[in-house]
A and B are shown apart, each in its own frame.
Chain A
């Protein structure tokens, strides 16, 4: 696939998403002795699919270490270390495991700065990865960002390309607040031009992945990539898509989204999560509040089917939005003729290469 067109980088070097994450952490650990990286398996031979590779060798076991399977307490440990001035990066190989951390994240990390009257800071990063395909199933596939977006005091970022992965990771480590850093397994092998030197991608600034005038599509996390593929299908029938990747969900750059929808009057939000009470609902509601009543306005949301994620590919194929369903929904929203189907060969090529296990 091509790189997002507005990932402005003079870098000639292409880097995979996973290597961009690793490089960001390594550069920050080099720069700041207070940064450390911990979590189950960060120091083993697989190194969280390579994303923590080399950290143990470079920085030693005091700064890169595994943990007991005690996600709840380990989150508290990260918070306490952060209060003491360190900058922990707590790694979870699946986002589903964050449910074991909710008390500490919601009741302590999110609130400490406020409930202690500004006297305490909690600069920590919580890395987690969403799985998809090859039987990830019910408990290895969830995109749970909306739960964190609901709670004041947590930042939530979901970069969809290698450039943003590196820039957001460095920004997250330097941020004085708890940052939920959401990764996606299927993004790990995808390359983009990434500068070698450290840089930050500011939170709260959405990225235009394509510029267009007929419909605004907002794609979150891995769905930004699926939307890019859908946009290329729509191009064939002359529909031009203004495709926006919010990059960070808290803070959320509604200004860019609203400016786009003010032009197109059509919004499709495609989330890598359930639709109900989700990030898409929040974006749609804010657009409706701002633009409702000022002219025609069409809004749709797409996301996971309202079911648990099944393991069998026969059912899983219907669980996620894909370039075909996204393109068809956008086409209908833009007033296209009913029953339109993209060219089957083109649609096949647009599908994301399925991940072939084991993990």
Chain B
């Protein structure tokens, strides 16, 4: 997996399946949301799928990812179970956190998914701690930690970059730069648009990818991850991307005035879901689509059928 050949048809099919799964689950979540059956704020990944899918395609089953409150794509791309995800958002006991975490705290240790965090930046040092443990175990495992441009402003993220470089931890830092912290644009938050250059000064490879191209993201990560498995230490990728829907909730918000629809349309023209769909033979694509749609139906049905936790569950899990 560390020597990707993007032109292989099976690579395209595998990436498309993962992209389409995230996109369609998110669209389904958005469709269900107005019914109030989802008992959780949702921060949709629509538009941002290619970053998580491109990176996770390079990870082994025993590698680890760490995501944010906008973590649906991370969770699904690393092999998270859509049933457990939907049930979690419905507040059901069959959820990945037994209904106690919701959309912002998806988790799946069996699939190598560290719990997502809703306090911006908080997952980054935790992921580095996991990487410290992996380094000690010497099995060539790595961690990929995802965070947004907002988190890049948190002190603990800079502290972590320094520590990871100092200890040569096997961790790939992936900044999903969608240009907004909630509704605040970069130019109100950054004096200099040189995040990647700043990170490089900690002493690790750092690269910016502005295209949103899943193959470019995957290619860039591939060599970094391969080196990391050999003890090469951490690396950083800044991936430009775009959130198509509102910060939290199922709707679009271009009428709010803080960003323009034209910006979204520019990203929509580069949509990786549509792009990869067009690269596949029709019959193959239709089969993948049908399989994903069936997966989603099964996930929603599972979430509907799963019971709410019993009242005693309130007091369970305060202490291990």
Within 8 A of B (CB), among A304-351: none
- Flag if B316 contacts A118 (CB, 8 Å): yes
Residue B320 lies at the interface, judged by CB distance under 8 Å to chain A: yes
Distance from B132 Cβ to chain A, minimum over Cβ atoms (Å)? 5
Chain B, residues 119-130, CB within 8 Å of chain A (1/0): the string is 100101111111
Residue B40 lies at the interface, judged by CB distance under 8 Å to chain A: no
Within 8 A of A (CB), among B79-110: 95-101, 105, 107, 109
Given contacts A118-B317, A153-B319, contact A104 B122 (CB under 8 A): yes
Chain B, residues 124-141, CB within 8 Å of chain A (1/0): the string is 111111111110100000
- Flag if A81 contacts B317 (CB, 8 Å): no
Residue A120 lies at the interface, judged by CB distance under 8 Å to chain B: yes
Residue from A76, A81, A103, A108 with most neighbouring chain B CB atoms (10 Å): A76
Q: In the complex, which residues of chain A have a beta carbon less than 8 angstroms from the beta carbon of B318?
A: 113-114, 152-153
- Flag if A119 contacts B159 (CB, 8 Å): no
Residue A295 lies at the interface, judged by CB distance under 8 Å to chain B: no
Given contacts A83-B126, A153-B318, contact A115 B160 (CB under 8 A): no
Chain A count of residues within 8 A CB distance of the other chain? 41
Distance from B120 Cβ to chain A, minimum over Cβ atoms (Å)? 10
Counting contact residues on chain B (CB < 8 A from A), the size range is 35 or more
Q: In the complex, which residues of chain A have a beta carbon less than 8 angstroms from the beta carbon of B99?
A: 117
Residue B172 lies at the interface, judged by CB distance under 8 Å to chain A: no
- Residue of A62, A73, A116, A122 near B160 (CB, 8 A) is A73
- Flag if A81 contacts B122 (CB, 8 Å): no
Q: In the complex, which residues of chain B have a beta carbon less than 8 angstroms from the beta carbon of A73?
A: 124-125, 128, 155-157, 159-160, 163
Distance from B99 Cβ to chain A, minimum over Cβ atoms (Å)? 7
Given contacts A74-B163, A117-B95, contact A81 B130 (CB under 8 A): yes
Classify the secondary structure of B's interface with A. helix
Distance from A330 Cβ to chain B, minimum over Cβ atoms (Å)? 35
Bound complex: CA of A113 vs CA of B114, how far in Å? 12
Distance from B122 Cβ to chain A, minimum over Cβ atoms (Å)? 6
Residue B251 lies at the interface, judged by CB distance under 8 Å to chain A: no
Residue A265 lies at the interface, judged by CB distance under 8 Å to chain B: no
Residue A239 lies at the interface, judged by CB distance under 8 Å to chain B: no
Within 8 A of B (CB), among A64-93: 67-68, 70, 72-86, 88
Residue A232 lies at the interface, judged by CB distance under 8 Å to chain B: no
Residue A112 lies at the interface, judged by CB distance under 8 Å to chain B: yes
- Flag if A112 contacts B115 (CB, 8 Å): yes
- Flag if A80 contacts B163 (CB, 8 Å): no
- Flag if B122 contacts A76 (CB, 8 Å): yes
- Residue of B125, B127, B166, B319 near A113 (CB, 8 A) is B319
Given contacts A72-B155, A73-B159, A120-B109, contact A80 B131 (CB under 8 A): yes
Distance from B80 Cβ to chain A, minimum over Cβ atoms (Å)? 12
Bound complex: CA of A136 vs CA of B232, how far in Å? 44
Q: In the complex, which residues of chain B have a beta carbon less than 8 angstroms from the beta carbon of A115?
A: 97, 100-101, 105, 115
Residue B117 lies at the interface, judged by CB distance under 8 Å to chain A: yes
Q: In the complex, which residues of chain A have a beta carbon less than 8 angstroms from the beta carbon of B105?
A: 115-116
Distance from B35 Cβ to chain A, minimum over Cβ atoms (Å)? 24
With CB as the reference atom, state the residue of chain B lying closest to A121. Answer: B320
Residue from A73, A82, A114 with most neighbouring chain B CB atoms (10 Å): A73
Residue from A74, A77, A123, A153 with most neighbouring chain B CB atoms (10 Å): A77
Residue A253 lies at the interface, judged by CB distance under 8 Å to chain B: no
Residues of A near any B CB (own CB < 8 A): 62, 67-68, 70, 72-86, 88, 103-104, 107-108, 112-123, 152-153, 155, 176-177
Residues of B near any A CB (own CB < 8 A): 95-101, 105, 107, 109, 114-115, 117, 119, 122, 124-134, 136, 155-157, 159-160, 162-163, 166, 316-320
> A-B pairs with the 9 shortest C-beta distances?
A80-B129, A76-B125, A84-B133, A73-B159, A70-B159, A117-B97, A117-B98, A77-B129, A176-B320
